[in-house]
Amino acid sequence: MRVVMPHMWCRATGAVVGLLWFSTLSAGSRCEFKQIESSSLEPGFEQGMTHPLLIQTAGSGRTAEMIDGLGNITLYITTAIGNQAQHGFTQDEQIAASEYIQRLETNKSIPYAFRQCHLSPSCDRALAKAVGIPSFLRETARELFMAVGSFPGSFPLHSHDRTWALSLAGSKRWFTSPPGKPPLRPYVDHDEDSLKRAGFQYCVQHEGEVVFLPRGWWHAVIVQSNWSLTVGGQGASKDLVFSACRGDLAAFTSSRPHQLNRLDPSGISPAGHAARAGHAKLLATFREKGADLQSPDGNGWTLAHHAAKLGHVEVIQWLAEGGISVTERNRMSWTALHTAAKAGNVEVIRALLQARAMVEPKDQAHDFPNVMLYSMQHAHRLVRYTVRAQTRNVQCREVS
């Protein structure tokens, strides 16, 4: 059964809003970014790019179909948008995208909702399939995301890795400033006049357009239409990295072990990217092909550290069952258990404790007090654990 989103269909196919805006604002005055047609961009264009771009894309006629394909994605409504801007996560109420958008109809004060798709293979799959990431954006698609907000919602000043954002519905005002010290205080809202006075570059983005920002550019975003729906990508994903992040088995049929072991410029192997994105099946394929899944990567992290940080329980279980160590220490002397505790990934902690039932009690005695400490320091709605480590039979009890 198809998700029924009648309002979205009307709005997405109507395009009346977009036409109105186009007629009242000339293209020059509405955007100070360099403007370019997507047809003139090749994969790798971003290497030489030092400024924001507004990219006109062909084929925005598929918008309604794309939105329909996103309806089942779970979003997280965030009431702490400053926190979201700073740390890139949210743990508030969960809601299906289709339901959220319907709620926007009746509730104008509903806050922004997001999904970071690298935290869920099914989200990544749904988004990549619905949007069909254009080839010129493939090298900036390590992590995909989706954001929905309503007027006059705004996203506070923040910066991060190289990124692009495609508007599938609605218009947004962007304010950008180069990497380095931002002209205004980050992670809080500033009104449009303050942003303009502080010298931020200004651009209105319409439906079907992509905003591209090189790494480290500060940006604040304000929803201009009644609501907006954006999908996008972040982070470098050259060559095999793109396919590893998507869990795309077919892309690796002819791969050799040395290709699978090659580290990208961030020091991570294709297997590391698969672990970060939660693709246990792809890891199994890599193992069959003779990839090295044991050695730490260029940053001293094992696959278990990556999966623990991003919350991928399935990967942790697959590693433990396959006899791949989940107990190595990184350069900070952290095991995956510490990483999971710091990130607040309770299910991963549980899976690691189960896996660790097989390791030496002296190791457990060393780790568990630290895990409890990190859990408490970084508690976001976090369950604290009490652990009895003196026996091989590890028990953990959740205390609220």
Ligand X SMILES: *[C@@H]1O[C@H](CO)[C@@H](O)[C@H](O)[C@H]1NC(C)=O
Per-residue interface string for the shown chain with ligand X, residues 78-107, x marking contact by CB under 6 A:
-----------------------------x
Q: Is 110 in the site for ligand X (CB under 6 A)?
A: yes
Q: Of 1, 250, 332, 399, which one interacts with ligand X (CB under 6 A)? A: 1
CA 216 to chain centroid, in Å, comes to: 16
Q: Of 23, 50, 109, 254, which one interacts with ligand X (CB under 6 A)? A: 109
Cβ nearer to ligand X, comparing 73 with 245? 73
> C-alpha distances in angstroms, 149 versus 209, 211, 343?
17, 17, 26
Per-residue interface string for the shown chain with ligand X, residues 222-251, x marking contact by CB under 6 A:
----x-------------------------
Q: Radius of gyration of the chain from Cα atoms? A: 22
Per-residue interface string for the shown chain with ligand X, residues 5-24, x marking contact by CB under 6 A:
------------x-------
Q: Is 260 in the site for ligand X (CB under 6 A)?
A: no
Q: Report 207-226 residues binding ligand X (CB under 6 A).
A: 226
Q: How far is the CB of 77 from ligand X (least distance, A)?
A: 6
Q: Is 390 in the site for ligand X (CB under 6 A)?
A: no
Q: How far is the CB of 107 from ligand X (least distance, A)?
A: 4
Residue 392 DSSP label: S
Contact partners, residue 44, CB within 8 Å, separation at least 6: 139, 238
Q: How far is the CB of 106 from ligand X (least distance, A)?
A: 7
Q: Can you give the length of the chain in residues?
A: 400
Cβ nearer to ligand X, comparing 1 with 332? 1
> C-alpha distances in angstroms, 367 versus 53, 151, 373?
47, 48, 10
Q: Is 3 in the site for ligand X (CB under 6 A)?
A: yes
C-alpha to C-alpha distance for 284 and 276, rounded to whole angstroms = 15
C-alpha to C-alpha distance for 227 and 236, rounded to whole angstroms = 29
Neighbours of 49 (CB within 10 A): 16
Indicate if the alpha-carbon torsion angle 264, 269, 271, 273 is positive or negative: negative
Q: Of 38, 60, 72, 74, which one interacts with ligand X (CB under 6 A)? A: 72
Q: Is 295 in the site for ligand X (CB under 6 A)?
A: no
**Cα end-to-end distance, the chain, whole Å:** 40
Contact partners, residue 186, CB within 8 Å, separation at least 6: 85, 86, 156, 157, 158, 159, 218
Judged by the rule CB under 6 A, the positions of this chain that interact with ligand X are 1, 3, 17, 69, 72, 107, 109-111, 226
